Amino acid sequence: MEQELIKQVEELKAEVAALKSRLSNVEEYSKDQLSIAVVSGDMDKIMAAMIISLAAAAMDTEVKLFFSFWALSALRDNRKKAKGKDFMSKMFGMMLPKGKNKLKLSKMNMAGMGPAIIKSLMKKQGVLSLDDMFKQAGELGIEIIVCEMSMNLMGFKKEEMIDYPNLIYAGAATFVSDAGASNAQLFI
């Protein structure tokens, strides 16, 4: 009986040691990092991504935003023009909003009045504008990754994107790698 008890204690010790080893590997792999896949091009959803990002960065969390598909409209600079676009690229460019200040709301857009109302309320309540959110995000080191595949599909070019200090161009594999190393991931 005593030998069996000693054997069980030794087995438990071995299991605890194995679990401790696995836990230390997980802790080393996970970073204090937030990765957000931003796919929606709706003003309120871009705002949500920016507000969450700013809050995380203010708490010293590294933040990486992966802008893809419709969200790319928010990164277009309305003062910039890109040359050499084919017909479909020009059509996408004309049909989609050009910049964060031209985005629609996901609900209650009201023929364009909804965004104006929200912007007015934000100003009245002292909430940063999207322009100021992006400016502050750049100052806090928030990285924005532009999905190259989505950019190419929609006919957007690098020269029409916003000037942002931490803007990089990469593929989905970069986001998957970043998200895998992050301790928090979101999809907006």
Tokens at 24, concatenated: 């230390």
Tokens at 40, concatenated: 């929606």
Give a yes or no: residue 178 inside a domain: yes
**Tens-digit pLDDT profile for residues 76-113:** 998 988 888 888 888 888 888 888 888 998 888 888 88
**Tens-digit pLDDT profile for residues 144-180:** 999 999 999 999 999 999 999 999 999 999 999 999 9
Q: Are the beta carbons of 104 and 114 closer than 8 angstroms?
A: yes
pTM exceeds 0.85, yes or no: no
CATH number, domain with residue 138: 3.40.1260.10
pLDDT at 90: 83
Decide if pLDDT at 75 tops 60: yes
Computed over every residue of the chain, the mean pLDDT equals: 90
Residues 59-76 have a mean pLDDT of: 97
Give a yes or no: residue 18 inside a domain: no
Give a yes or no: residue 19 inside a domain: no
Give the helix/strand (H/E) hosting 66: strand 62-67
Give a yes or no: residue 177 inside a domain: yes
Q: Which residues 6+ apart lie within 8 Å of 166 measured at CB?
A: 138, 141, 142, 143, 144
Give a yes or no: residue 2 inside a domain: no
CB crowding 86-103: b at 16 or more within 10 Å, else e = eeebeebbeebbbbbebb
Q: How many CA atoms lie within 13 A of 27 on its CB side?
A: 6
Residue 76 lies in domain: 31-187
pLDDT at 84: 87
pLDDT at 26: 57
